[in-house]
Amino acid sequence: MARLFKKLKYPGSWSLFRSDDRLLLILFAIAVGICSGLAALVLNRSLETMLEWLHHYRTYWWAIFLPAAGAALSSLFLEKIVNEGAGHGVPEVIYAVSRYGGLLRLRSSFSRLISSCLTIGSGGSAGPEAPVVMSGAAIGSNIAQAFSLNDRQRVALVGCGAAGAIAAIFNAPISGMVFAIEVILGEWSTMNIIPIAIAAVAGTEVSRLLKGNQIAFAHRDFNIHFNDILACVGLAICCALASILLTRALRSIHHVSKGVALPKWIRAAIGGSMVGAIGYFLPYALGEGYHAIRTAIDGEFSGGLVLVTVIALVKILTTSLTLGSGGSGGIFAPCLVIGAFVGLSFHRFLAAVWSSALWVNEGCFALLGMAGLISGILQAPLTGIFLIIEITGGYGVILPLIVVSAISTTLCHYLEPASFYLKDLVEQGQLLRPGTDARVLTDLSIQELLETDCICVHPNMRLADFIGIVKSSHRNYFPVEDQENRQFVGMIHLDDIRPYLFDPAMHHAVLTGQLMNTHVKTVSLHDDLSEVLQKMDEGRIFSMPVVSDNRFLGMISKATLLDQYRKELMVQTGRF
């Protein structure tokens, strides 16, 4: 019995899966997809319930404090109960994937669900998608941990979790798949794509079974003309500007809030009450805002150009206030809202300037605006394109969609080189995509590159004896160690002493202690390889001694590094 249990715990070692684990991954992908789909639905349901429940109180004046209470509670929950930092968690997932093979904590699988439910349900302007992605990823990671899967399999399951979550919440399997691969994993390989696709299917199916197969923002057909496609360029520029504005606003409010010497939950509460106050006058700026999107796409939004533009700007402000001050949630849904209103205002502007021209329905522009904003913020054009197609069910708009996504991504890339999710990681140098130089250098450790075939000499050796050692060695470097306590005192490099080697008069007159270089740069065992390489480049040296606790451990050289680097790269990028 115990044996069977043990065997079940290590499915990776079953002979069926030992040499090829695709089948195993597919089975796990189904499980992960279902679980993360359920997680997404739970959040979705509880948000709906909460909104409904609070709806009656919106008309009271004290409703402006609802978002404050929600944000404070969510911050307290994250800080005190589950002990996690604030934020939406996607960078954490990417960090874990690139550095620790996707190891995530069990608590992450529910913490963000609860905290974002509190933030958004109470009216904070944020999206439920990033928390769901984090939960899905954590579910995948913990399933992999429970069954002792290895890093590669675990990373695939983390991707499965993210894909399943996005697929379930939007009823959009392709977007889930593309998001997981483009944003979370950053690696397109069949090994990953197949399980992730399966998980996306499983997640979508769960959502369809429990919620019904409905397209989130269904719309009527649009009649797109050539001049609309031309106008898309202008729309894309507006979207790019809005994306940049949102990114910058988020960051500056985060910065300001960090500088305030108050407990985190009070900061969150202050941000929340500001959001509440704004929302009292402009309810469109509250919550995830799906309702607003629906009216915009249907072309039934009644406000004029000024109102629409103001809503877009205010939504940027409330989102920055909610997330920047410490509320919990994602940026996906606010992006969609802002995009829709940017699209609307652009349409109104066009209609006002060229009133004679025949423009497509404004709903189409709202839709294109959403794609533009998603692509701009995430700098993931494929995710933007597929998401909009799937959530609106409109393949007919694909051409302008691609144009807007492409231009918006490119423009944003000029001003903000890293996307919203990756910015922190890039700043810390922690974005380690598979197969990149940074990743290979991080994976290799100095321990693995250590050349231990050096012969140590002691400083009281005559040159003649040293030459004897040189004869029997095939290296150019000789570490010098103190005879008694084996402390490292210096290095002898053959190049430095070549002139004396062939001078017999010196052979008995000079000691190795006089020949050695005592100011040699050393490396310690736990140094980062990229730093070591930088040191080597600066000093134009090809090898350096590795010294730990004043003991010589071995040499590290560029030659061995190249050898190992190549092998590592082949194994990392090669087919399994």
Which residues bind to another protein, rule: CB under 8 A?
12-13, 18-19, 83-85, 87, 92, 95-96, 99-101, 103-105, 107, 145, 148-153, 428, 430, 443-445, 447-450, 525-526, 528, 548-549, 551, 553, 564, 567-568, 570-572, 574-576
Provide the 3-class DSSP secondary structure of residue 371: helix
Closest CB 445 distance from another protein, rounded Å: 7
Closest CB 284 distance from another protein, rounded Å: 32
Closest CB 151 distance from another protein, rounded Å: 4
The CA–CA distances, whole Å, from 572 to 167, 189, 443, 564 equal 29, 11, 10, 12
In angstroms, the CA 76 to CA 115 distance is: 9
Query: Which is closer to another protein, CB of 124 or CB of 554?
Result: 554
Closest CB 538 distance from another protein, rounded Å: 20
Name which of 13, 124, 116, 115 is nearest 63 in CA terms.
124
Name which of 476, 477, 480 is nearest 461 in CA terms.
480
Provide the 3-class DSSP secondary structure of residue 515: helix
In angstroms, the CA 122 to CA 65 distance is: 9
Closest CB 547 distance from another protein, rounded Å: 10
Query: Which is closer to another protein, CB of 45 or CB of 551?
Result: 551
Is-contact 128 330, C-beta < 8 A?
yes
In angstroms, the CA 568 to CA 564 distance is: 6
Closest CB 152 distance from another protein, rounded Å: 3
Residue 479: in which H helix or E strand, if any? Answer: strand 477-481
In angstroms, the CA 353 to CA 366 distance is: 18
Is-contact 298 320, C-beta < 8 A?
no
Query: Which is closer to another protein, CB of 219 or CB of 264?
Result: 264
Report residue 419 as tokens. Answer: 């996307």
Query: Which is closer to another protein, CB of 227 or CB of 572?
Result: 572
Closest CB 264 distance from another protein, rounded Å: 10
In angstroms, the CA 257 to CA 184 distance is: 28
Closest CB 425 distance from another protein, rounded Å: 10
Residue 8: in which H helix or E strand, if any? Answer: helix 2-9
Burial class of 410 by CB neighbour count within 10 A (0 to 12, 13 to 18, 19+): middle
Query: Which is closer to another protein, CB of 151 or CB of 537?
Result: 151
Query: Which is closer to another protein, CB of 46 or CB of 442?
Result: 442
Is-contact 328 126, C-beta < 8 A?
yes
Closest CB 545 distance from another protein, rounded Å: 14
In angstroms, the CA 398 to CA 386 distance is: 9
Closest CB 1 distance from another protein, rounded Å: 13
Query: Which is closer to another protein, CB of 81 or CB of 398?
Result: 81
Taking the chain, what is the end-to-end CA distance rounded to the nearest angstrom?
A: 34
Name which of 496, 505, 436 is nearest 464 in CA terms.
505
Closest CB 237 distance from another protein, rounded Å: 34
Query: Which is closer to another protein, CB of 399 or CB of 571?
Result: 571
Query: Which is closer to another protein, CB of 49 or CB of 573?
Result: 573
Query: Which is closer to another protein, CB of 99 or CB of 211?
Result: 99
Query: Which is closer to another protein, CB of 400 or CB of 554?
Result: 554
Name which of 330, 349, 408, 407 is nearest 376 in CA terms.
408
Is-contact 60 393, C-beta < 8 A?
no
What sign does the CA torsion over 563, 565, 566, 572 have?
positive
